[in-house]
Chains A and B, each alone.
Chain A
């Protein structure tokens, strides 16, 4: 019985690898890659949202609740804000291409209902209807930093409060795509990873965090005190800089010099006294 389960798993993994090879890698275009948030109609924010990356809307124009664009607001964008300009339009074009590529990828497995508590390996997972996440979903990259996960969702994606996506063994947020036939709704304090590609709208609950992007083709993106960090593209994130402290020899010499000056301060500064 156990042997048959293992055999099934091996066949499933081999099939996943084979179909993944056929599908090739899906990549966001170079313009949309720089966006953390992109909407088709409006971007609305309440609370201290932080978007690390660009923020834009096209063909709509309304962006509310962000510093740097009227009427202003508490939201912060590390990149630039694009309201119906050429860059936002280009990003939408690239989003449509990526959306279609994700939707057209050959599926390796079918999923349904609530996938909370499950572990997924690289592959293309299809849900013909809505998909829910309650609890933690683990995406296991199997040690391959280019491992790609595509979730094709027929209609809506909904996450429960405090749900999370955990990336392990080299899985990267930039290589995870959630393609929704309608909308995505992330529950309060959800910790999400991957690129949300919605045909309609995306709505984030209070305190939800995305390590990825919220990209809506036609509808709105609604934010509520969230943090969205757009990761780098398929080339992987830039190597972080390392900041070791100065050597302990330098620190102790500096410190001893400081103590010596402190101890001899009266004698030292006597010569500088003005009469």
Chain B
């Protein structure tokens, strides 16, 4: 092992040691919160992305920057605030900021640019920001209920909606917090970025598909709730999980269609 590799490994170990409580808290949330359980996959996908771009990394020039220490100091401040009670989210952001700082210190801006996409992917494993989540939950629940009721009515099925409760011929379905669509939103957002990265060389496509994923996920969640209202047999157990996954695959197919659409629009624009 060269001295440079030794420095990298030591820095990584120190970083993991410093942020161990934060990482433990994140892992606990992935384990207990089904909205965030995809967090386990993110640390697996990121090394794969780096490995896939290993040739690019091997050609990068090493030009350490002092700005890295500024980032590390900011991250330390944020981590201190998190430890004093600001919350897990601040600690997790501090962890990502520290990684960026270390990259700047060891390799310079070239390394940071190369790591921009993996760091952006890492944002999908950040804990839920309670302030935003609490504000978004109820409106999303009501939106999913409204969409489901509209879909059922359009299909000629009588439905009565009372807030977040759907009554389909006496069969009642509650669109509770766990049905609000955030799970679809986060999962499809992550997948949209991965799809664009894997299938398309254009970096802007990641943003375009991420934007397209938002309405698709919300509509798909409404469709899922409507399906549960219409067919009580798919409300629980394996049929419920399978139907949820099938609708998610449908979302993926729609995203692929959007990718084609964006590419055609881009080709027209270029010509």
Residues on A facing B (Cβ under 8 Å): 50, 52-53, 76, 78-79, 209, 211, 227, 229, 237-256, 258-259, 262-263
A241 in contact with B172 (CB, 8 Å) = yes
Nearest chain B CB to A81 CB, angstrom units: 14
Q: Which residues of A contact B37 (CB under 8 A)?
A: 247-250
Q: Is the CB–CB distance between B179 and A252 below 8 Å? A: no
**In the complex, B174 has a CB within 8 A of chain A:** yes
| Complex Cα gap A76–B224 (Å) | 25
- Are A263 and B198 within 8 A (Cβ)? yes
Residues 7-51 of B, flagged 1 when their CB comes within 8 A of A and 0 if not, give 000000000000000000000001000111110110000000000
Determine whether B210 belongs to the interface, using a CB cutoff of 8 Å to chain A. no
Of all chain B residues, the one with the shortest Cβ separation from A228 is B160
- Docked-complex contact B160 and A52, CB < 8 angstroms: yes
Q: Are A251 and B244 in contact (CB under 8 A)?
A: yes
How many angstroms between the C-alpha atoms of A241 and B164 in the bound complex? 12
Stretch touching chain A among B54-62, B106-114, B248-256, B262-270: B248-256
Q: Mark B152-177, 1 if CB is under 8 A from A, else 0.
A: 00000010101001110111111110
B103 within 8 A of A: no
Q: Which residues of B contact A50 (CB under 8 A)?
A: 158, 160
8 contacts between A and B (CB under 8 A): A50-B160, A78-B169, A243-B173, A248-B35, A248-B37, A248-B187, A255-B249, A258-B249
User: Closest chain A residue to B156 by CB distance?
Assistant: A76
Report B143 CB to chain A, min CB distance, Å.
14
Q: Which candidate, B65-73, B83-91, B130-138, B235-243, is the interface stretch facing chain A? A: B235-243
Contact B170 A78 (CB under 8 A): yes
Q: In the complex, what residue of chain B is closest to A51 when comparing beta carbons?
A: B158
Nearest CB of A to B42, in Å: 9
Which A residues touch B240, using CB under 8 A? 243, 246
- In the complex, residue of chain A having the shortest beta-carbon distance to the beta carbon of B31: A249
For residue A184, give the distance in angstroms from its CB to the closest CB of chain B.
20
Q: Are A259 and B173 in contact (CB under 8 A)?
A: no
Write out, one digit per residue, whether chain B residues 225-240 have a CB within 8 A of any chain A CB (1) or not (0): 1001000100110001
